Amino acid sequence: MVTMRDVAKRADVSIATVSFTVNNSKSVSPATRARVEQAMEELGFRRNMVARALASRRTRVIALLYPALQQRLSGTAVKFFTSAAKTAGDLGYTLVLWPVSNDAEQVTQLTSGGLVDGVLLMQVQLDDPRVDRLVETETPFAMIGRTRDPSGLTFVDIDSENTTVAALDYLTGLGHRRIALLTSDGDSAVPHFGPTERTRSTYRAEMDRRGLDAVLLECGETPQAGRLAADELCERAPDTTAVMVLNENAAFGLLNGLRHLGISVPGDMSILSVGSSPEVAAIADPALTLMVSPADELGRMGVEALVDRLEGREERGNHTLVMCAFHEGSSTAPPRG
Amino acid sequence: MVTMRDVAKRADVSIATVSFTVNNSKSVSPATRARVEQAMEELGFRRNMVARALASRRTRVIALLYPALQQRLSGTAVKFFTSAAKTAGDLGYTLVLWPVSNDAEQVTQLTSGGLVDGVLLMQVQLDDPRVDRLVETETPFAMIGRTRDPSGLTFVDIDSENTTVAALDYLTGLGHRRIALLTSDGDSAVPHFGPTERTRSTYRAEMDRRGLDAVLLECGETPQAGRLAADELCERAPDTTAVMVLNENAAFGLLNGLRHLGISVPGDMSILSVGSSPEVAAIADPALTLMVSPADELGRMGVEALVDRLEGREERGNHTLVMCAFHEGSSTAPPRG
DNA sequence: CTCGGTCAGTAAAGCGGTTAACTTTTCTGT
DNA sequence: ACAGAAAAGTTAACCGCTTTACTGACCGAG
């Protein structure tokens, strides 16, 4: 292994000078810099990140904690991750995806081992044990999503409230009056998931404000459960003409279930999927109209916020909300008649 | 931060003894061990992984390189990752997912920075620039999948040959004689993907051996492309009664395309998806019959093989193949008549 | 001509562990 | 009872890099 010592010897300077040149941390004369750079080139020097981390007490690695309990990484999550990784790279950091069970103990392990400077938390629950642990151990972190009371914490999140309003505006704009909402139930991969709860309450309030009747359904996050939800919908509210779905997998089941019940989409029933991605929505037949989760932006902003904290630019919590964007598909249409 | 020094002082032993206790690297008397452990407990000591890595020249971190170009992480990939992470943990390692473009330069960066001890490569292409780079830099690595000539390299891979034979046995066992194969085309996320090419050639050979006519189709990895493939199938080989599909996303499109052409599945046409996961296959209506990708096993075995190499137990390349398992769905049936 | 002030560069003290070499004590077997 | 080995600890030399404090040289201002 080629070390700074070797480079220093060959360039006939002190090891400190080599450090200053590679890090630009102190001015070095052009002549010396050239000698050092040539020596590095000739020897094929690559600085040892571990040693650097130990000496500087910063690893320049940030971890994206993802809950290992989750069986499927949605297209949204992957986009999010990819965008976060790119942003981190641009800012001089390396982002790694760290699978962690929801149990807080593991969080401490990784964190206090000093292998990462900071943590990005995704799939945050309203009451998240991991968050408590991170606060306790004073690990710098930012959340994608937010806890029930996120004051003082840094987060970026989907603007569920405005997204829900926009979704309802769209559906009522088409002429729908009987609009149901299907979400995940308590057994979901992420219990007490903020967007679910916020969407439900906004939906309730908005329907009320518009003088419409709220019909709330919930089911597990599987196509099978979505199928059963179709049955339930027809039984409980047979005159429904549109469904908003915040449950990617169930959306497929709902669609299939309706077809089996002889209800055509979008002819008899419109379906609007919320918080999904176009790639996944395209699997359905007809392709789902959807409100696209702003995964790229969330990833980028999450990393930016975290790095700001790591570099001391942002002391107090930074809050950002981003709306979902509308994406036209073939699963929505004006109601019959 | 609590260091070993602090612990040593409190337990009234040398710092080396503390190291020996926490690592079990040299025998320590029960009495001393107890004192040390109590001191650690009282002080809340957590060993600094970075310092440990520097001193021992091993980080105990292994990286799973995943190609950032891939837009969707299939259910299979996530399972694979989860299983790999768990295995690594059991063996005393931490596994991180490292997004890397296919470009070899980044591989070198991460690797030579000394942040990881070894690398697990997934989505290996038949001619993979990343592999060359890893060989050059003498980074220990194992592959999931294999290059064209993997001699001397360590890998675990899907046994495409036997899986294809089993799939054909199953379909011919149902009575099918006219069986087509749909795979990804050259524009796929992973060009020159081993399983694709091996499946195609085995399919050709096996069909020939059984005196049947081979019908090979290929299309992009999207539902839309699968839809067009349905048209092509009906035009090129209208008497086909079964299709094997090695292209998860296109399988959905194929199914929908056939429905739009008035061809019922499995009544008029059987579909067998290969290398997918039950969770994803269940999205389809009818749920797809499939050969399940052995993701869990591949993940586990890949990590085991890599760790064997890291700990010097396995010098020369280790090769393992695993077959896909059959999973009954509702998209296959005997041919009509 | 001298004084304070940049500018380049160096020496050396860590960062928090690991581990080889060595000392002392306690068992063994004969 | 005694040599030799094993067991239990200790000391100190790193691992490769960062960073503070310090040394001269050089420069313009008073």
Q: Give which of B45, B74, B97, B280 to mutate to test A binding, by max A Cβ within 10 Å.
A: B97
Give residue B328's pLDDT band: very low, low, confident or very high (50, 70, 90). Answer: very high
Distance CA A108 to C1' D2 in A? 55
B181: which 2 tokens? 């194969």
Query: Is the shortest CB-to-strand distance from A51 to strand D under 7 Å?
Result: yes
Q: Which nucleotide is nearest to B11 (CA to C1')?
A: D9
Give pLDDT, residue B111. Answer: 76
Identify the residue with better confidence: B280 or B215.
B215
Distance CA B62 to C1' C22 in A? 36
Give pLDDT, residue B73. Answer: 53
Determine whether the interchain pair A249/B68 forms a contact, defined as Cβ–Cβ distance below 8 Å.
no
**A110 pLDDT more than 90:** no
Selection from B216, B244, B247 nearest residue B232 by Cα = B216
B267: which 2 tokens? 């009544």
Give residue B79's pLDDT band: very low, low, confident or very high (50, 70, 90). Answer: confident
C-alpha A111/C-alpha A108 separation (Å) is 5
> What are the phi and psi torsion angles at B153 (to 5°)?
-105, 155
Q: Which nucleotide is nearest to A2 (CA to C1')?
A: D16
State the pairing for strand pair B118-121/B94-100: unpaired
Give residue A105's pLDDT band: very low, low, confident or very high (50, 70, 90). Answer: confident
The three-class DSSP label of residue B164 is helix
**A47 pLDDT more than 90:** yes
Query: Is the shortest CB-to-strand distance from B48 to strand D under 7 Å?
Result: no
Distance CA B275 to C1' D13 in A? 55
What is the DSSP-derived secondary structure letter of residue A27?
Answer: -
Determine whether the interchain pair A256/B285 forms a contact, defined as Cβ–Cβ distance below 8 Å.
yes
For residue range A291-312, list pLDDT tens digits in order: 999 999 999 999 999 999 998 8
Q: Report the range of poorest mean pLDDT among A45-59, A125-139, A191-205, B217-231.
A: A125-139
Q: Is the peptide bond before A286 cis (omega within 30 degrees of 0)?
A: yes
On chain B, the residues whose CB falls within 8 A of the CB of A283 are 223, 249, 252, 283
Contacts of B323 (CB under 8 A, 6+ apart): B158, B159, B162, B163, B166, B294
Do A124 and A194 form a contact (C-beta atoms < 8 A)?
A: yes
> What stretches of chain B adopt beta strand conformation (E)?
61-67, 94-100, 118-121, 141-144, 155-158, 179-184, 215-219, 242-246, 270-276, 289-292, 319-322, 325-327
Distance CA A296 to C1' C28 in A? 70
How deeply is B76 buried, as exposed, middle or buried, from its count of CB atoms within 10 A (0-12, 13-18, 19+)?
A: buried
A124: which 2 tokens? 């945050």
Query: Is the shortest CB-to-strand distance from A114 to strand D under 7 Å?
Result: no
H-helix or E-strand spanning residue B132: helix B129-136
Whole-prediction pTM: 0.88
**Residue B30, number of CB atoms within 10 A of its CB:** 7
Give residue A13's pLDDT band: very low, low, confident or very high (50, 70, 90). Answer: very high
On chain B, the residues whose CB falls within 8 A of the CB of A115 are 49-50, 61, 94
Q: Which residue has the tokens 């038949």?
A: B126
Query: Is the shortest CB-to-strand distance from B3 to strand C under 7 Å?
Result: yes
Do B168 and B210 form a contact (C-beta atoms < 8 A)?
A: yes
On chain A, the residues whose CB falls within 8 A of the CB of B53 are 50
CB pairs under 8 A between A and B: 121
Do B33 and B7 form a contact (C-beta atoms < 8 A)?
A: no
Q: In what order do the strands lie in the sheet with A179-184?
A: A215-219, A179-184, A242-246, A270-276, A289-292, A325-327
Query: Is the shortest CB-to-strand distance from B311 to strand C under 7 Å?
Result: no
Q: Which residue has the tokens 């995940």?
A: A184
Do B181 and B217 form a contact (C-beta atoms < 8 A)?
A: yes
Give pLDDT, residue A275. Answer: 92
C-alpha B106/C-alpha A86 separation (Å) is 12
H-helix or E-strand spanning residue B206: helix B194-209
C-alpha A207/C-alpha A202 separation (Å) is 8
For residue range B82-101, list pLDDT tens digits in order: 899 889 989 989 888 887 77
Determine whether the interchain pair A98/B96 forms a contact, defined as Cβ–Cβ distance below 8 Å.
yes
Give pLDDT, residue A71. Answer: 56
Nearest to B282 among A50, A98, A224 (CB): A224
For residue range B122-153, list pLDDT tens digits in order: 888 899 888 998 998 888 999 999 999 999 99
On chain B, the residues whose CB falls within 8 A of the CB of A63 are 96
Contacts of B278 (CB under 8 A, 6+ apart): B290, B292, B327
Nearest protein residue, CA measured to C1' of C13: A55
Chain A nearest C-alpha distance from B32 (Å): 24
H helices of chain A, in order, are: 4-11, 15-23, 30-43, 49-56, 75-90, 104-112, 129-136, 160-174, 194-209, 223-236, 248-260, 278-281, 295-310
Nearest protein residue, CA measured to C1' of C12: A16
Chain A nearest C-alpha distance from B96 (Å): 5
Give residue A113's pLDDT band: very low, low, confident or very high (50, 70, 90). Answer: confident
